[in-house]
Amino acid sequence: MKTFKMMSVDIIRDQEIYPISIEDGIVINQENISRSWILELFVDKKYEALFKGFQSSNEIISAKVVISYPENEPAHFEVVTYSVKEIGQHISVLLKGTLKRLRRKYAESLLSELIEDGFTGEELLAKFEHDMKTRPTLKKDQN
């Protein structure tokens, strides 16, 4: 098994992105034949109803997770909510699932999209630097 620090997580439903503010989190590659991963989030209690809803419906959700360093490109997972446990004013959420697709070069894809959108020169550079920090979902990832 390998364990990684979770830097951020977004839930993607119906082509909408819902950022989840995490206090702490880890990502575990179980390195098993099923290629399964565990995501553990330590979040504010305000997310309890959301994750309990996912758990009771057994809905498969998409999660976009930045691992280890904020500037890393996000990894996309398909997960189900395995457990939601209250810990003081927070909850611990366990998500289990698989890596959705192999990671690709986010920077190159972002730059290509910005050029297609007509950005050039200093405007291109400023937009590229901003988007590398905020990591918006690329158009090709919205499907």
Domain boundaries, the chain: 2-99, 106-136
Q: Note the pTM of the prediction, 2 decimals.
A: 0.72
Query: How confident is the model at residue 101, as a pLDDT?
Result: 62
Q: What is the DSSP string of 16-34?
A: EEEEE-EEEEEEEE--STT
CATH of domain 2-99: 2.30.110.10
Least confident of 2-6, 116-120, 131-135: 131-135
Residue 128 amino acid letter: F
Q: Classify 121 as helix, strand or coil.
A: helix
64 backbone dihedrals φ, ψ, rounded to 5°: -110, 115
Least confident of 21-25, 48-52, 79-83, 98-102: 98-102
Give the pLDDT band (50/70/90) at residue 107.
confident
> Cα–Cα distance between 51 and 63 in angstroms, integer?
13
> Cα–Cα distance between 127 and 81 in angstroms, integer?
35
How many angstroms separate the first and last alpha carbons of the chain?
A: 31
Give the pLDDT band (50/70/90) at residue 26.
very high
